[in-house]
Structure 1
């Protein structure tokens, strides 16, 4: 009851082709392939740019070095009773 045979899948495929048509399925396939290719290219470009540039701390993050900006004011907020 839980498993599908090859005949079940062929019937489902036939229904999908009849509902959507081969041209629409071809367009969907090419769009999906282009999206996957673009994603892979983006991941390669991102990895290449990360390897090429040294990591820098985000803006506004306090670092442990002496060249940190001295204009930071440390304030502790207290609630009124």
Structure 2
């Protein structure tokens, strides 16, 4: 009662193909595949990954003026 048989899936597939058309479904599948490939490439390519770096410590008068700003609040 809770699961779908193969006939349910076939009927659903036919209805979806009739509503959207096979060409549109193929284009959607290609777009999803390209998006997944691009995501994998982005995750594995170390040159394109953004590296988070802390702000460099302030030096000279800037350090003094910044600490004054923090103390005044």
Q: Determine if the TM-score, normalized by the shorter chain, exceeds 0.5.
A: yes
Q: Which residue of 1 aligns with 2:39?
A: 39
- Greater share of helix: 2
**Number of equivalenced pairs:** 65
Q: CA RMSD in A?
A: 2.3
Which residue of 2 is the match for residue 59 of structure 1?
55
TM-score, normalised relative to structure 2: 0.71
Deviating 4+ runs (over 2 angstroms): none
Q: Deviations over 1:9-57 (max 9, x none)?
A: 1110010001011100010010000000000011111xx238xxxx774
Q: Which residue of 2 aligns with 1:65?
A: none
Structure 2 counterpart of 1:69, from 48, 59, 62: 59
Unaligned ranges ≥5, structure 1: 63-67
**Structure 2 spans left out of the alignment, 5+ residues:** none
Quote the residue 1:10 is aligned against.
10
1:5 positional shift: 0.7
